[in-house]
Each structure stands twice: as structure tokens, then as C-alpha cells.
Structure 1
């Protein structure tokens, strides 16, 4: 277990930028990798839907398997981090991710069930990374700029989600566009499509294994939860944290749900009529908008309260989803893609606001917030059920409801950090 005095890296309230630059740069690599891995689910869903001729609800089992890992494993991950420390937790998380990615190779010949299990294992590794990396970033600098700092590092997470869809579309979905009708494909054709995931995920497994080794040998500052604030008592008595857990749940649910349906949505002839491979390239705009928005948000929140920015962005997402639901053609398509720009600052802002001054409860609070990422398993299934019953386009009102709660959370804590924004 890591042991160090607060003086090892300085307290969170005493900025030491020179000491923080290198560790922040290294930790940023984690954000990129789990962004890339998560965005590939948007490619897997239409791919596996085609291979196994699934309904929308059945295809959303991809998200259920992946994000249920966050719900089931976040609290154990928090306990692991308390025992091993943040750096060792990152190494373990990378190693587990590598195993999950490697499982895609046998899954290609074993059926849909093993794909879902591989996704669960992969999510388990990312869960450990999330619990370790997010609070690590919040304490590597002044608390007043924690939201700004976390947005900056998460911009690289968004870069991972930006490059993932076009790469995955080229390597995987190109096999769908050239194939026959999924309802009439032979067993050999379906097997060939399933094999399309083997090469990309083996490459990811090797990359993750190399990163695990690198993290094991490099030197990073040792931090303690006590350096992060002053809260005490039961973790469930922290009201802002509990409201933040729900905000993370509905935010991730909305973001993932929208991304999961984009390829099918843009394939609708009344919207764009795009083939899956072409639509995958446009999904990159959704995630790329989040990347651009996080760089902008990182600068904006040095002068404007994070809560105010959060509330404004949530309101913008609601308006865009209403336009998506009732619009037509490319107008409706670009409206939903633009949601990504306003999604940008939400996760890191909610996270940093929720763990502010939790002190020795920080790792527990981080575990609960990461557990709430399970919203990515629940909300897509709800939207899928709506899509099967009332139509895909109308179902986009489901994530709009999620953003309404985020608007409330941001407005409720709009004055957080106002007195110290000049720090």
C-alpha cells in the first residue's frame, strides 16, 4: 500500500505546477485509451446486430454487458485503490483491459454470449482506471481549478472517442456494407463478419499490455485521499455527492444512448440514408465535438462557475434533441451530432464538483461516481424499447429527459468555486 506524507507532492490547495505537469501528462494516456475502447461499442452494436440479426433491445445488450461492469465492480475497485494506491490500480486496470480485449479473438468463433463476457471484463479494467485516474487529476493542483484540469485531461479521452469510430468503421463495418441482407446471409458469411473484430482487438490488447508495463516502471507522485479535502462521516451523508451520482448516471446514459443509435439513425432514408461505414465517419463528429468542447470548457471554467457552464450546456442539449426528434433530413442529423459539443464538459465537471472536499472519503466517492456510469447500460435499453415501439427518431426524447436533471444539478450548485475562481 502506498504511504507518503502530504508533503510528498504538496496539498491540493498549494499549486505546484512544475511537479504536476509530468504526472498529468502520463495519466492523460489512460483517458485516451478508455475513450477509444468505449467508442468502439458504437461500432460493435450495428456490427453484431447485422451478424446475429438482433432487435434494437438485443443489440443494446452490448451496452448492458459493458456498463454493468461499472455498477458491479466500482466499489471493489475503490477498495482496491485504497489498498494498492492509485498508480498500482492503474497498472491492474490496464492489465485487465488487455485480457478483455484479447477475449474478442475466441468470441468471434463462439457466439454473442462470449462477446458480451469479453465486454464485461474490458469494462472491469476501465472501471479500475476510472476510479484511479479521475480523483488523481483532481488533487494534482488547486481545488478551484479541478474542473478545468479534469476537462483538459478528458479532452484526450474525447480524442480517443473521436478516432475510434472511423478506425472501427474501416476495419469492421466495411464488411457489413459489402455483405448481403443480414436476414439471408449464410453461416460462412456471418462467420467472416464476426472475424472482422479479431485483428483490431488483438492490437488493442497488445497496446494495453505495453502500457501496463510502462506504468509499472515509471515514477509518479504518491497521493493520499487526505490531501484532497476535509469531509468526514458516512459517504452517503454527502448530499452533493449523492446528487452527483445520479447526474453521472443520467449523463452517461444519455451520451452512450445517443452514440449507440447514431449509425442506425443516419441510415434512415428520412434523415441521411447513409451506409453503416459512412455513418461511422459521422459518429466521429459527435465524439470530436466533445473533444473540442473540453478544450474550450477548460479555459471557460477558469473564469465562469462550473455549475453555470454545466446548466447552460444541458439546456443546449435539450433544445438540440427536440430539434432532432421533430426535424428532418440533414438538419435533424446535425442537430444530434452537435449534442456532442455540449456533452463535452459534463462528466468531468459533475465528477469534480461531486468529490470536492471529500478528504478521506475521496476514493469511496470516486467509486460511487464510477458505479453510476452504469447509466450507460440502462438508458440505452430504455431508448431501445421506445425505438422498437414508437420509432427511433421519437425515442431521442428519452435522453432529453436525462439532460433536464443535469440542468437542475448545475443550476443548484451554480455558485460553487465563485469566490475562489481567481486562484
Structure 2
């Protein structure tokens, strides 16, 4: 999984067409890559409206509903290492194009799964989409983090991740209008009579148009990315001799090239894993939570408008975080965010009515900087080990699959009580911010590399 030196055919289409382009090239590339962050944020959060829809169509329990999202995040576990290997073979740019193609193919598979309708084919289609997103994540996150100055990596990734949140913010409106707003289950109040077989079949087919639109946009974006000359990643993160490591198994590389000696990475992998349990649990159970009579007493379509506010808070938080972390230590900013998230999750778990609803909405603001900040803290000081480290951090996104644990807790103890799991996750992020993120190799603090 070594980064490819800037020599010969190994560069593929990733080589820089001359260094004179300078900052303009990087700015154009980051602008284009922001569209990738937007699309995978958009598609991931469509699940927030898709899950309550599928729960009604297939008459699922909370455990079965969250299993759908678990399948989505299991793809990160299985696809991360193959994605890094593919990047090594064909380059970052071609890998991004392939990832977009996989996502488009998965979106098209949602059409027959809706027409049958088939729960199993739906799971497979979502797995394909998530595998494509995994490939994009493994390529794009480290690219954005290391393509500029090391000291502004957290700020830069938070800024681009704001576009991810912009996609996530618009997705509930899109899904609420084109999926929930055109279905019987989506416009019914909580506790309404069960759907008839004919109504379930009609509701199932409401996803056809949205996913056809998504597939078309992804195909267009793949074409644009394929034609764009992306700048090369910095030489500080590249392997000098690829052939020395090309035939070595991953386990050997991890054991003998110092990754496990980096404390910030060792504790960063579980930090990503645990944080994803919190973020995905909130996003995917939000509509069911605020629809309850004792909370918001809303229809699913109405609740999707409030989900828009949750993800909008993440977008605003990342924009603010990108500015703040140019002046403030990233670890300190992460600690403040984790304390705030813990407080509002406890409020959501122990109160009712609009107080609980707005507490859950506000967690988006505190979650906003967590993923990009943990990611950049995790790869800080890795140098030429950056790709291996980033691959492990992206694999940890599979933590979202454990949302099924929250689904089980919701079935056993109630949906509101299940958010205590989220509060516990925030406490580990606090531990990472205050201690685990400090870069140390073999007990010695790491001196950050000089600005490039």
C-alpha cells in the first residue's frame, strides 16, 4: 500500500503537469474534490430517510432496520485494504473514477430492488454503493490532508468536509420530498394503521426516481474527474523505493515499519470506530425519535426537515472549525466538541418534548469537527507511512456497522434510552483529544515536520 513515487508509468494519471501551477493547481483540485465529499455525504445521509421508509415497507424491527446501515458500514471494513491496493496499482485519480462508477452501479441496482421489492437486493445495492464510497474515502481524505502545509491539515480537511456536510444537509430535503413525501408511510402520523400489501408495493417504488437521478450525477462526476489533472501528493509522504515493499504482506508492513509505535494512530483508529457509532446512530434513528408522540409528534416527512437542521449544524460547525483551528490547537478543539456532545446527548436521553428534540439536533454542531480532526491527528507525524495509516483510519469507519447495537438497545430498553450509548462514545473521543492524540513514537514526542 505504499505511496507511489513520482516516476514513470506508476504515476498513472496522478502526475503533476509541471510544478509551476502552484497554489492555483491545488485550489482547483480541492474545489473539484469538494464535489466528491458532497456526493458521498449526500448519499450516506439519504439512508436517514431511506431507513424509516424501508422499515415500513418491509415491516422491520429497529434491529432489522439498523442492520441495513450495518451492511453499509461493513463495506468499509472489507473494502478499505483492497481500495488502498487498487490506489497503489492504478493511482489516486483513476481510483476515484472507479469509486464513482461503483456508486453509480449500486444506485442503479436500487431500481430492481424497489420494483420486486427485495430486502436482500436492497442490502446488496447499498453494499456496492458503500464500497465505492470507501474507495473515494481512502483516496481523497489523505490527499486533502497532506497536499498542503502540515500545520493546517486539520483546518483544510474540516473545510472540505464542510462540503460533505452540505451534501448531508440537502439529502433529507431530497429524500423527504422524493421518497417520504410520495409515500403513504411517510405522510402518516406515528401509530397509524399498518400498510396494506398494495400500499407497501407502491411505497417501495418511490425510491426509483431519486436513485436514477443519483446514478446520473455520479456518472457525470466520474467523467469530469477522469479529465482533470490532479496535482501529486507531497514527496514527504511518498516511499522512496516502492520495489522494496511491493511484495510484502500488509501484516509485515504494519509490524516492521513503525505504524504501531505511533500513539496518535493506535488510539485514533478506535476513536474513528467509536465516533462513527455515535454519528450514525443519531442520524439514522433521528426521524423515528422525533416522530414519537412524547418528543415531536411529527410525521416522517416533517421529521426529515428537522434532520436537515442536524446536518446543517455539522456543515456550519466544520466551516467555523476550519477557521478556528488555524489559531487553536486541534486537540483542544476536539475536547471542547466532545464535552458539548456528551452534555446534549444526556439531555436528549433524559428529557422529553422539544427540549429532547433540539438537544439531539444540536449534537450535529458538536459532531461536525470530530471525524476530520481525529483523522488528521491520527496521521500526524506518519510521513511516508501516511497511506497505511489513513487506510486503517478509513477501515475504522466500519464502526458505523455497530449501529445495530443501538437498534437492539432501542428494541429492548426504548429508543430514547439507547442514546446513552452515544453519550458513552463521546467520552472516548474526549480521552483521545486530551491524551491519545499526542504524537509519540516509542515513548518520545514527535517533532512536527517543517512547513512545506
| Range class of TM-score, shorter chain | over 0.9
Corresponding position of 1:313? 337
Deviation per residue, 1:375-412 (Å, 9 max, x gap): 1111x111111111111111110011111000000011
> What's the secondary structure of 1:352's corresponding residue?
helix
Q: Give me the whole-angstrom Cα distance separating, in 1, the residues matched to 2:407 and 2:267.
A: 26
Q: Does 1:21 align with 2:45?
A: no
Match of 1:177 among 169, 180, 186: 186
Corresponding position of 1:240? 264
In structure 2, the CA distance between the partners of 1:311 and 1:200, relative to structure 1 (3 Å rule), is same
Q: Does 1:405 align with 2:415?
A: no
Deviation per residue, 1:175-234 (Å, 9 max, x gap): 123469786423221111000001100110111111111111111112267436999814
Aligned residues: 417
> What's the secondary structure of 2:267's corresponding residue?
helix
Q: Give me the whole-angstrom Cα distance separating, in 1, the residues matched to 2:270 and 2:126.
A: 24
In structure 2, the CA distance between the partners of 1:361 and 1:227, relative to structure 1 (3 Å rule), is closer
Corresponding position of 1:147? 154
Shift of 1:355: 1.1
> What's the secondary structure of 1:40's corresponding residue?
helix
- The 8 Å contact of residues 45 and 168 in structure 2, kept in 1 or not, is answered as yes
Q: Give me the whole-angstrom Cα distance separating, in 2, the residues matched to 1:418 and 1:281.
A: 46
Corresponding position of 1:126? 133
> What's the secondary structure of 1:49's corresponding residue?
helix
In structure 2, the CA distance between the partners of 1:216 and 1:140, relative to structure 1 (3 Å rule), is same
In structure 2, the CA distance between the partners of 1:87 and 1:401, relative to structure 1 (3 Å rule), is same
- The 8 Å contact of residues 17 and 141 in structure 1, kept in 2 or not, is answered as no
Corresponding position of 1:352? 376
Report which stretch shifted further, 247-256 or 352-361.
Answer: 352-361
- The 8 Å contact of residues 35 and 161 in structure 1, kept in 2 or not, is answered as yes
Q: Give me the whole-angstrom Cα distance separating, in 2, the residues matched to 1:178 and 1:226.
A: 55
Corresponding position of 2:315? 291
Q: Give me the whole-angstrom Cα distance separating, in 2, the residues matched to 1:9 and 1:38.
A: 31
| TM-score for both structures, normalised by structure 2 | 0.87
Corresponding position of 1:385? 408
Report which stretch shifted further, 185-194 or 70-79.
Answer: 185-194
Corresponding position of 2:360? 336
Q: Give me the whole-angstrom Cα distance separating, in 2, the residues matched to 1:229 and 1:205.
A: 36
Report which stretch shifted further, 235-244 or 367-376.
Answer: 235-244
Q: Give me the whole-angstrom Cα distance separating, in 2, the residues matched to 1:275 and 1:169.
A: 11
Shift of 1:238: 3.0
Q: Give me the whole-angstrom Cα distance separating, in 1, the residues matched to 2:437 and 2:138.
A: 25
Q: Does 1:107 align with 2:107?
A: no
Q: Give me the whole-angstrom Cα distance separating, in 2, the residues matched to 1:411 and 1:344.
A: 18
Corresponding position of 1:81? 87
Q: Does 1:49 align with 2:55?
A: yes
In structure 2, the CA distance between the partners of 1:110 and 1:405, relative to structure 1 (3 Å rule), is same
- The 8 Å contact of residues 53 and 182 in structure 1, kept in 2 or not, is answered as no
Shift of 1:120: 0.3
Deviation per residue, 1:120-159 (Å, 9 max, x gap): 0000000000000000001221000000000000000000
Shift of 1:30: 0.5
Q: Give me the whole-angstrom Cα distance separating, in 1, the residues matched to 2:48 and 2:27.
A: 33
Deviation per residue, 1:3-35 (Å, 9 max, x gap): 5269x769xxxx953331111111111000000
Q: Give me the whole-angstrom Cα distance separating, in 1, the residues matched to 2:394 and 2:448.
A: 29
Q: Does 1:396 align with 2:402?
A: no
Corresponding position of 2:215? 205
Shift of 1:262: 0.7
In structure 2, the CA distance between the partners of 1:225 and 1:389, relative to structure 1 (3 Å rule), is farther
> What's the secondary structure of 1:197's corresponding residue?
helix
Q: Give me the whole-angstrom Cα distance separating, in 2, the residues matched to 1:422 and 1:75.
A: 30
CA RMSD of the aligned region, Å? 2.6
Match of 1:222 among 232, 242, 265: 232
In structure 2, the CA distance between the partners of 1:229 and 1:400, relative to structure 1 (3 Å rule), is farther
Q: Give me the whole-angstrom Cα distance separating, in 1, the residues matched to 2:450 and 2:274.
A: 28
| TM-score for both structures, normalised by structure 1 | 0.93
Match of 2:205 among 172, 182, 195: 195
Q: Give me the whole-angstrom Cα distance separating, in 2, the residues matched to 1:419 and 1:128.
A: 28
